[in-house]
Amino acid sequence: MGTITKDALINKVGDLKVLPFVARKLLETLNDESCSIDDLSSIIEKDQTIAARVLKISNSAMYGLRHEVTSLHQAILILGFKTIRSMVLSVSTRSLYKNFGMKEKILWDHSVGAGIAAKMISAGFGAEIGEVSFLGGLMHDFGKVVMNNETPDEFAEVMMKIYNEGVDSITAETDIYGYNHAEIGAGVVGKWGFSPLLVNILKDHHLNNIKLADIKDSVVAKTIAITNLADYVCKVLGIGYRNPDDKTELHKLPSAVFLNLTQDRLNALVGNIEDTYNMEKSIFE
């Protein structure tokens, strides 16, 4: 059993002050219906690292724009408030790692891979789903970051069980803590005031004890399915894992079936995702 209870861990990290200034200010500004493109641009400009990453991501292959985006004002105008918010919050999560050794690099690489995979899988499912899928993919394992930051010894035990015994993360975490990263991640972003949609993605992305067909809101169901599938795509490609997994049949997964993605379509997607990840991952470093 972990040294800290689930609720205590969520409350400890749920204070918005742990987020970088730009991310906190952006959340506050976007809650104001009268906020403008200039308001957002002026906030992002205060953190040159985040500003540079937003421009790089805006120009990445994930978005496929025909013309280069050269200013924050232009990026916000073209991509929209929701997408820009997702970008700023996503690149801000990198700063939440208290340390950044090999263990943290594995977690980060997997998060970036899942974000890219989710964004590419979401193509054709509508703008609303596309906007949240990238952030959902990037943050789906955020609970692991929290557990690693606050309880590094216990989380090291979890990682050892996963790599040495071959058990899945949910099983390993439950054995050590009595709860899992999906519960922690959802609890923290809920305390931060993120959208219920993102909370649901983090809570249910492993599809534990739920069926996608039973989820009444189609946007929620599809984004959860996309995140789940993106997670498995990374497993197949070995992104954030010791080795690629050649046993998982993606087209047979409940998430792939729900999204009506055929084996041929998935094979093409996996190839494109791998190429895009290898080409774009440096943007997030």
DSSP state of 16: G
In this structure, what DSSP letter does residue 281 have? G
Neighbours of 133 (CB within 10 A): 29
- Which pLDDT score is estimated for 185? 95
The pTM of this model reads: 0.86
Domains and CATH numbers, the chain: 6-18+98-284 (1.10.3210.10)
Find, among 126, 172, 144, 196, the residue nearest to 13 by Cα: 144
pLDDT score of 82: 75
- As a whole number of angstroms, the distance between CA 98 and CA 100 comes to 7
Residue 18 pLDDT: 63
Q: What is the mean pLDDT of each run of 10 residues along the chain (285 residues)?
A: 82 73 77 83 83 84 80 85 76 74 87 93 89 88 92 92 87 95 94 87 94 95 98 95 90 97 96 93 78
Among 6, 5, 21, 34, CA closest to 190: 6
Say what the pLDDT of residue 187 is: 95
**Distance in angstroms (rounded) separating the CA atoms of residues 39 and 232:** 38
Which residue in 119, 106, 76, 112 sits closest to 93, CA to CA?
112
C-alpha 173: how far from its chain's center?
Answer: 19
